[in-house]
Chains A and B, each alone.
Chain A
Amino acid sequence: MGQITLVDVQKSFGPVHIIKGADLDISDGSFVVFVGPSGCGKTTLLRLIAGLEDVSGGKILIDGKNVVDTPPAKRGLSMVFQSYALYPHMSVRGNIGFGLKMAGLAKDEINRKVEAAAATLNLTPYLDRKPRELSGGQRQRVAIGRAIVREPKAFLFDEPLSNLDAALRVQMRLEVTRLQKQLGTTAIYVTHDQVEAMTMADKIVVLNGGKIEQYGSPLELYERPNNLFVAGFIGSPKMNFVTGEHAQQQGAITIGVRPEHLKIERGGTTGWPGTISVAEHLGSDTFLYVDGGPLGMLTARYIGELSLNPGDKVSLTPEPNRIHRFDGSGNAIRA
């Protein structure tokens, strides 16, 4: 079991209030991703759950039991650090087995479990090497092995893939997701890569300035963002925001339209007129950066190739049921 509930969790470092009351309900077996801009408190929130920092207020429940006074060693969670944090003086075998040794398991049982974990992670040939004799990807797998072998209530990951190159990152992303589904263990994963967030998560927590802006499935966040921040943060390229007359026509202060929901017409006059300033042709996609005059810069995405060039006049028409409306304080207006 690994159900984690946060009730009004607060954290201050001295006079600075970092986590300003987080409420969250993470169900057993789910994969939850924390995303948000740098410095918003993702790592801090994860460390609070781990017990590596003490809360300044609120409750953290693991399987219904308040653990705020329980030391990290007793919370039954395991963590994968961004820096890997392997024990340099121990072999891969020693690293993976350390938690089991601390739990007082018998030697042959430790060996059996370590070997099983190593096999899952393709680490068998490296069991007797020291961390310094491994590549970055292998070290990361050892760190993951160390986390899974203990069969914890939940895994905590803090940007575990950010030190890997792009190709390896995609591969490890798949491996982590597959492993988590196979084990069925609750996972909390911190990243600021929103592709990782969208692809890996069952549910995403969007954090901003120490507050949870929205908690929901990737598609919920994409389709029904609660506010301007979430709307702008989720999705790539970013959502277009338009204020003024066009917004008022929709009964809103600001309206937002995603680049992929703008219909592009050459020269047309029916929608928002503009001039292309940059056109990116990827073959599979075409991204147009359009100077919309009073509307500001707009981004439009076309699936496939569209032979338009800078200087061409276009008109952009939002799909009517894909327009997001926001009030004066930035919150979504739901019809």
Chain B
Amino acid sequence: MARMATTQKVVVSTIGAWLAGFLIFFPILWMVLASFKTELEAFAIPPSFLFFHWTTENYATVQERSDYLHHAMNSIIIAGGSTLIALLIAIPAAWSMAFSPTKRTKDILLWMLSTKMMPPVGVLVPIYLIYKTFGLLDSRIGLVFILCLGNLPIVIWMLFTYFKEIPRDILEAARMDGATIGRELVYVLTPMAIPGLASTMLLNLILAWNEAFWTLNLSTSYAAPLTTFIASYSSPEGLFWAKLSSASTLAIAPILVLGWFSQKQLVRGLTFGAVK
């Protein structure tokens, strides 16, 4: 009797979970489906779900009209570069705040977070002018720089919380074992922090990949990443749902694949068993 009740519970919660998952996933599914419709069917009311005339013509048009690979490469350089630089700055910063905090550490962390509370549009004009003066408009390096700075507070915060969880004793043990600060960082802290680093890196990549405010405002063609590529289907020549969808599908595909394969690395729990 009791067993039947639990089986029922499991079935109900499984169905519930699938439903919730489907609901969350639906917009993405809808976008992918729309990318295979003709422009007319993409607009049709009532919409057709699966039974429409499947076509890949949108993809062909999109590729013809704009150079996907060029924009994808820009996205990779901008997202990857800004993440890499952010990590290089954030690792030592978070390390020192987690392991030798001063009485100002809390304030500094809050101050960094406070910069994220200001809407970016508030500083658009000065940044635009600075970029213009220094010739950074529509340059990859300019975008790498601004996205890196934008995400830095979040990266430092995330790493700080991960580092905080690493037992102090283990670092002291390394010190007793004759490790200098540098080697302690390389041989002990970093390997233990890898799951945290991996998830921070992935999150930052996704944020940078999808960042649309600065990329749209500071780039036009040469340095334009995939966000600009998508946007170009919604403005100048009216709205093209199907083409917009196929552009978007193309744009999120790389990051989706990356997320799918790095799921395992994101599961944490490496420190378990080290300290009783």
Q: Could you list which residues of chain A lie within 8 angstroms of chain B, going by C-beta atoms?
A: 50, 52, 71-74, 77-79, 81, 83-89, 98-99, 102-103, 130-134, 136, 139, 146, 150, 163
Count B-side interface residues using an 8 Å CB cutoff: 25
Decide if A52 touches B178 in the complex (CB within 8 Å): no
Q: Could you list which residues of chain B lie within 8 angstroms of chain A, going by C-beta atoms?
A: 167, 169-170, 172-180, 183, 187-188, 191-192, 194, 270-276
Decide if A163 touches B187 in the complex (CB within 8 Å): no
Contact A89 B191, CB 8 Å, known A131-B273, A132-B273:
yes
Decide if A88 touches B178 in the complex (CB within 8 Å): no
For residue B183, give the distance in angstroms from its CB to the closest CB of chain A.
6
Total A-B pairs, Cβ < 8 A: 85
Residues of B within 8 A of A79 (CB): 172-173, 176
Residues of B within 8 A of A86 (CB): 170, 173, 274-275
* CB-contact partner of A83 in B177, B180, B183, B276, under 8 A: B276
Decide if B273 touches A85 in the complex (CB within 8 Å): no
Residues of B within 8 A of A71 (CB): 175
Decide if A84 touches B275 in the complex (CB within 8 Å): yes
Q: In whole angstroms, how far apart are the Cα atoms of A88 and B167 in the complex?
A: 11
For residue B102, give the distance in angstroms from its CB to the closest CB of chain A.
13
Q: In whole angstroms, how far apart are the Cα atoms of A52 and B176 in the complex?
A: 8
Q: In whole angstroms, how far apart are the Cα atoms of A196 and B187 in the complex?
A: 35
Q: Can you offer 29 A-B residue contacts whose CB atoms are under 8 A?
A: A50-B176, A73-B177, A73-B179, A79-B172, A81-B169, A81-B173, A83-B276, A84-B275, A85-B169, A85-B172, A85-B173, A86-B274, A87-B174, A87-B192, A87-B274, A88-B271, A88-B273, A98-B174, A98-B179, A98-B187, A99-B177, A102-B179, A130-B273, A131-B273, A131-B274, A133-B273, A136-B276, A146-B173, A150-B177
Residue of B nearest to A102 (CB): B178
For residue B274, give the distance in angstroms from its CB to the closest CB of chain A.
3
Q: In whole angstroms, how far apart are the Cα atoms of A74 and B107 in the complex?
A: 34
Decide if A73 touches B180 in the complex (CB within 8 Å): yes
Q: In whole angstroms, how far apart are the Cα atoms of A99 and B169 in the complex?
A: 15
Residues of A within 8 A of B183 (CB): 102
Residues of B within 8 A of A130 (CB): 273
| Other 6 A-B pairs with CB < 8 A, given A87-B192, A131-B273 | A79-B172, A85-B173, A85-B275, A98-B177, A102-B177, A132-B272
Residues of B within 8 A of A134 (CB): 273
Residues of A within 8 A of B170 (CB): 85-88
Residue of A nearest to B183 (CB): A102
Q: In whole angstroms, how far apart are the Cα atoms of A98 and B183 in the complex?
A: 11
Q: In whole angstroms, how far apart are the Cα atoms of A87 and B177 in the complex?
A: 11
Q: In whole angstroms, how far apart are the Cα atoms of A79 and B191 in the complex?
A: 22
Q: In whole angstroms, how far apart are the Cα atoms of A130 and B276 in the complex?
A: 14
Residue of A nearest to B172 (CB): A52
Q: In whole angstroms, how far apart are the Cα atoms of A73 and B172 in the complex?
A: 10
For residue B218, give the distance in angstroms from its CB to the closest CB of chain A.
41
For residue B99, give the distance in angstroms from its CB to the closest CB of chain A.
12
Decide if B178 touches A99 in the complex (CB within 8 Å): yes
Q: In whole angstroms, how far apart are the Cα atoms of A72 and B180 in the complex?
A: 9
Decide if A73 touches B273 in the complex (CB within 8 Å): no
Decide if B167 touches A85 in the complex (CB within 8 Å): yes
Q: In whole angstroms, how far apart are the Cα atoms of A50 and B183 in the complex?
A: 19
Contact A72 B175, CB 8 Å, known A85-B169, A88-B271, A98-B187:
yes
For residue A138, give the distance in angstroms from its CB to the closest CB of chain B.
11
Residues of B within 8 A of A52 (CB): 172, 175-176
For residue B221, give the distance in angstroms from its CB to the closest CB of chain A.
46
Q: In whole angstroms, how far apart are the Cα atoms of A130 and B191 in the complex?
A: 14
Decide if A84 touches B179 in the complex (CB within 8 Å): no
- Scoring B176, B188, B270 by chain A CB atoms within 10 A of each residue's CB, the highest score goes to B176
Decide if A83 touches B275 in the complex (CB within 8 Å): yes
For residue A147, give the distance in angstroms from its CB to the closest CB of chain B.
8
